[in-house]
Amino acid sequence: MSTETEGTTDYYSRFQAGTSEGDQGLRPRSEITAKELMREVGSVLRMSEADVASLDDAPDDETMIINMGPQHPSTHGVLRLMLELQGETVLRCKPVIGYLHTGMEKTGEQLTYTQGGTNVTRMDYVSPIANELVFSMATEKLLGIDADIPDRAVWIRMLLAELNRMSSHLLFMATNGMDLGAVSMMIYGWREREEVLRFFQEVTGLRMNHNFIRPGGVAADLPAGWRDGVLNLLDIIPDRLDEYDILMTGQPIWRERLQGVGVITPTEALALGATGPILRSAGVEWDLRRDQPYMYYDEMEFDVVVGSYGDCFDRYAIRLAEIRESMKIVRQILDRMPSGDYRIQDKKVTPPPRARIDESMEALIHHFKIFTEGFKVPEGEVYVGVESPRGEIGCYIASDGSANPYRMHMRDPSFVNIQCLPHMMRGGLVADAVAVISSVDPVLGGVDR
Amino acid sequence: MTDQLAETFGCPATDLHEQDVLYPSHEQYFEVIGALADDGFSMCVDLTGVDYLEYSGRPLPDGVQAERFEVVVNLLDIGQRRRIRVRVQVPESDASLPSLFDIYPGTEAMEREVFDMFGVSFTDHPDLTRILMPEDWEGHPLRKDYDVGTIPVQFKEAGA
């Protein structure tokens, strides 16, 4: 075309690939060596080369590689799985991620510690409280004020964290049901989750992405009537959970669909770094709330629920039981909620109260400076891990003494847990692949960050 | 505690904020992690990187030469309920480390992430490709000299 100028050619050329770091997909069997194939399974299972050779039962032909996702409704967002199939059997699988990557860790370096909460809360968007909690705890550890957080703030944090665990697991109940064709379960699960989110809205002002837990405490005190809100939840949800039991747990179709599917052994789970319900489903008793207690979890009475088969049914049952355990904790928190301040009275970290701003110029300046410049955090680096509904969520912050983190890394449980998928799916059916993805309960916002 | 750690693993150790940190050299790295795995650290919780380009004066124990990159490995011992962190210096001129895949297979995705974000390569990794960014992305986003905000949006296979 004569009208096309050189400028437009330049414009388009920027969209052409200038580099390639190699294909991220699953390579066909013909292109990989036996050793590479062995490493895919063998090193996780701690097998010798001979043992792996005996596993390799697939013929070189008659297999095909298909894509599942990224837009498949049952892949929970934009998870893409490449499956190598022989007939209906999954031989190999590879998760391909990054479709939701927005560089939140890089963004975190541009934001001050005051603003950081709004960023991290959007990572694993189903359990925002856990993200904020771990970020705040890491910041407080760097500041050296982690032991001085007022009691009431800590108890509020625990209350919200447990309610968040309930809402997250209720969402799992919904999506797990939906993935397996129990569509009414989807509606029930969302309904109960909404009850919890409604309480969050009363307390934090938002259903999700609260930015409520902040370095130094929480953003506001609990509103009047919060106790009734929690009691209302504790009143509604147990009965509804019993309904789930009737609808799903004992139901033959449900059990057929989940039992013995997607089995993971303790060795595999540990080797892969899986945490949370996946690790516990394999029978490993590991819950940070009990084993490396933070906040006041060591004073709480609750059970760590473990499975014995490591299959999808165990993971379903564990999450259902964890909702009940969380309610147990919430009841104890209700009894013990102290009065007092909801944030630390450290002028460096805490802005002055709203009323002071109207009458004092200094308070206004102080308020302005905290929200524009933030506060300086001493040099150092720290890693803090807490138990989120999906496993260990960790926050690693390296500080150079300025008001923004020099490096802020979130260890997201979903990111690590999806590595279990190939091992859970090996030798299973395509139809079971959906059950397996669902039982790992990945949140792609957390995976890709 | 730190003296004991330093003696056992033959590299400097600190316990800032009550967290044990080991600083093995580039050569010791694989060996020290292997020794920690034998010592009961059954799980690699996290592996990440830091680009210290703009913060070279960071506090490090004596005997550790600050380099541009640092790879940080968090290990967990489920039996004894303890954690340890390993910080290894990675020079810009030779940004590579041995892969921990054979010790902790769970580091597969984490090492790919560090490779993708920092350009630190891991030798003997089964599949060292980008994980979060597109395959044909230029540069490594979490490096400090990576320019934010001025790059054109890159899409794969969208030629003129």
CA-to-CA dists, residue B116 to A75, A399, B111, B128, B143, angstroms:
24, 22, 8, 9, 10
Q: Please report, as a single letter, which amino acid is at residue A22.
A: G
pLDDT over 70 at A221, yes or no: yes
- Write out chain A residues lying below 8 Å of B69, CB-based: none
More confident residue, B150 or A405: A405
Smallest CA–CA distance, residue B90 to chain A, in Å, is 16
- The dihedral over CA atoms of A169, A175, A176, A177, expressed in degrees to the nearest 10, equals 110
Read off the pLDDT of each residue in A395-406 and give the average, rounded to a whole number: 92
Chain B residue with minimum CA distance to A33: B126
Q: Phi then psi for B100, rounded to 5 degrees?
A: -90, 5
What is residue A220's DSSP assignment?
S
CA A198 to chain centre: 21
On whether the CB atoms of residues A43 and A49 are closer than 8 A, the answer is no
Q: Which residues pair with A90 in a beta bridge?
A: A85
Smallest CA–CA distance, residue B113 to chain A, in Å, is 10
CA A443 to chain centre: 6
On whether the CB atoms of residues A174 and A188 are closer than 8 A, the answer is yes
What is the pLDDT confidence band of residue A201, given thresholds at 50, 70 and 90? very high
Q: Please report, as a single letter, which amino acid is at residue A379.
A: E
Smallest CA–CA distance, residue B29 to chain A, in Å, is 19
* Number of CB atoms found within 10 A of residue A242's CB: 11
> What global pTM score does this model have?
0.89
Average pLDDT, chain A: 85
Q: Does B142 touch chain A (CB under 8 A)?
A: yes
CA-to-CA dists, residue B98 to A248, B102, B121, angstroms:
47, 10, 8
Smallest CA–CA distance, residue A255 to chain B, in Å, is 30
Task: Name the residue among A19, A44, A273 with its Cβ closest to that of B44.
Answer: A273
Q: Phi then psi for A362, rounded to 5 degrees?
A: -65, -40
pLDDT over 60 at A405, yes or no: yes
More confident residue, A55 or A147: A147
Cα dihedral A105, A160, A174, B45 sign: positive
∠A395-B78-B107 over CA atoms, to 5°? 55
CA-to-CA dists, residue A30 to A4, A27, A67, angstroms:
44, 8, 18
* Token pair 């509103």 in the structure block, residue: A223
Nearest to B48 by CA among A21, A94, A449: A449
- Write out chain B residues lying below 8 Å of A22, CB-based: 128-130, 135
On whether the CB atoms of residues A182 and A151 are closer than 8 A, the answer is no
Nearest to A432 by CA among A186, A179, A189: A179
> Residue B25 is encoded by which pair of tokens?
């050299």
Nearest to A338 by CA among A130, A157, A137, A144: A157
On whether the CB atoms of residues B20 and B83 are closer than 8 A, the answer is yes
DSSP A363-411: HHHHHHHHHHT-----SEEEEEEEEETTEEEEEEEEE-SSSS-SEEEEE
pLDDT over 80 at A27, yes or no: no
Give the model confidence (pLDDT) of A371-384 as tens digits: 888 888 999 899 99
On whether the CB atoms of residues A350 and A140 are closer than 8 A, the answer is no
Among B70, B120, B123, B127, which would you mutate to test the A interface (most chain A Cβ atoms within 10 Å of its Cβ)?
B127
- Write out chain A residues lying below 8 Å of B156, CB-based: 17
Q: How many residues does chain A have?
A: 449
* Token pair 């316990």 in the structure block, residue: B15
pLDDT at site A38: 65
Q: Where are any strands of DSSP class E within A118-221?
A: 213-214, 217-218
Per-residue pLDDT of chain B (160 residues; tens, 9 = 90+): 677 777 777 788 888 888 889 899 888 899 999 999 988 898 999 999 999 988 888 888 888 888 889 999 999 999 888 999 999 999 988 888 999 888 888 898 999 999 989 989 998 888 888 888 888 788 888 888 887 765 566 666 655 4
pLDDT at site A1: 43
pLDDT over 80 at A166, yes or no: yes
CA-to-CA dists, residue A372 to A105, A351, A366, A375, B148, angstroms:
20, 11, 10, 9, 21
Write out residues 2-41 of B within 8 Å (CB-CB) of A.
16-17, 19
Q: How far apart are CA B117 and CA B67, in angstroms?
A: 17
Contact B148 A379 (CB under 8 A): no
SS3 breakdown of chain A: % helix, strand, coil, rounded to 5?
55, 10, 35
Read off the pLDDT of each residue in A415-436 and give the average, rounded to a whole number: 88
For residue B84, the SS3 value is strand
Nearest to A258 by CA among A102, A24, A1, A434: A434
Write out residues 47-86 of A within 8 Å (CB-CB) of B.
none
On whether the CB atoms of residues B116 and A81 are closer than 8 A, the answer is no
Q: Where are any strands of DSSP class E within B18-140?
A: 21-22, 43-51, 69-77, 82-90, 96-98, 121-123
On whether the CB atoms of residues A274 and A416 are closer than 8 A, the answer is yes
CA-to-CA dists, residue A227 to A143, A151, A160, A164, angstroms:
32, 17, 13, 16
For residue B82, the SS3 value is strand
Cβ neighbours for A198, distance < 8 A, ≥ 6 positions apart: A207
pLDDT over 90 at A333, yes or no: yes
pLDDT over 80 at A25, yes or no: no
Chain B residue with minimum CA distance to A291: B81
What is residue A212's DSSP assignment?
-
pLDDT at site B127: 81
Q: Does B74 touch chain A (CB under 8 A)?
A: yes
pLDDT over 60 at A44, yes or no: no
On whether the CB atoms of residues A211 and A117 are closer than 8 A, the answer is yes
Q: Phi then psi for B41, rounded to 5 degrees?
A: -75, 95
* Token pair 């680009």 in the structure block, residue: B51
* Token pair 């690699």 in the structure block, residue: B44
